[in-house]
């Protein structure tokens, strides 16, 4: 079956512009995660959705970052007024919580000029 799909794969934007990143999880996966991976660094937790529960937003670095999820399907991560330090690979993962294994997408590489 299809894996986790992220789009776009690459995004180049100018400082101050807004960007929207999309994640299509594996069908039936109730949990969805967003991470940020800066060059040469580890995965930084951003936000987590689980079913109809309120999302855990504790990792969002500033109020410029927001994310939404429609039911148990698509999620979008929005970064407003992008800054150069937002340049990173943004990874999405989905999971069946009963299995406790995350399946990752290929990521969106964001470059803010």
Partner 1 sequence: AQSVAQPEDQVNVAEGNPLTVKCTYSVSGNPYLFWYVQYPNRGLQFLLKYITGDNLVKGSYGFEAEFNKSQTSFHLKKPSALVSDSALYFCAVRDADSGTYKYIFGTGTRLKVLA
**3-class secondary structure, 85:** helix
Residue 63, token pair as written in the block: 């109020």
Q: Hey, what are 13's tokens? A: 């934007």
| Residue with smaller CB distance to partner 1, 5 or 13 | 5
Q: 70, 67, 73, 76: which is closest to 28 by C-alpha?
A: 73
Contact by Cβ (8 Å): 50, 34: no
What is the smallest separation between the CB atom of 35 and partner 1, expressed in angstroms? 7
Residue list 67-106, contact with partner 1 (CB under 8 A): 91, 93, 95, 97, 100-106
Here's the x/- map for partner 1, 32-71, by CB under 8 A: it reads as -x-x-----xxxxx--x-x-----x-x-------------
Determine how β-strand 10-13 pairs with β-strand 108-112.
parallel
Q: Please give the residue ranges that form the binding site for partner 1 (CB under 8 A).
A: 3-4, 31, 33, 35, 41-45, 48, 50, 56, 58, 91, 93, 95, 97, 100-107
């Amino acid at each position: 079956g299809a894996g986790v799909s992220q789009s776009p794969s690459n995004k180049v934007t100018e400082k101050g512009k807004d960007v929207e990143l999309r994640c299509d999880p594996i069908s039936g996966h109730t949990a969805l995660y967003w991470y940020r991976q800066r060059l040469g660094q580890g995965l930084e937790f951003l936000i987590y959705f689980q079913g109809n529960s309120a999302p855990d937003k504790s990792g969002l670095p500033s109020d410029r970052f927001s994310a939404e999820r429609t039911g148990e399907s698509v999620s979008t991560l929005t970064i407003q007024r992008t800054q150069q330090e937002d340049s990173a690979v943004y990874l999405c993962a989905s999971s069946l919580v009963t299995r406790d294994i995350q399946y990752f997408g290929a990521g969106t590489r964001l470059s803010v000029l």
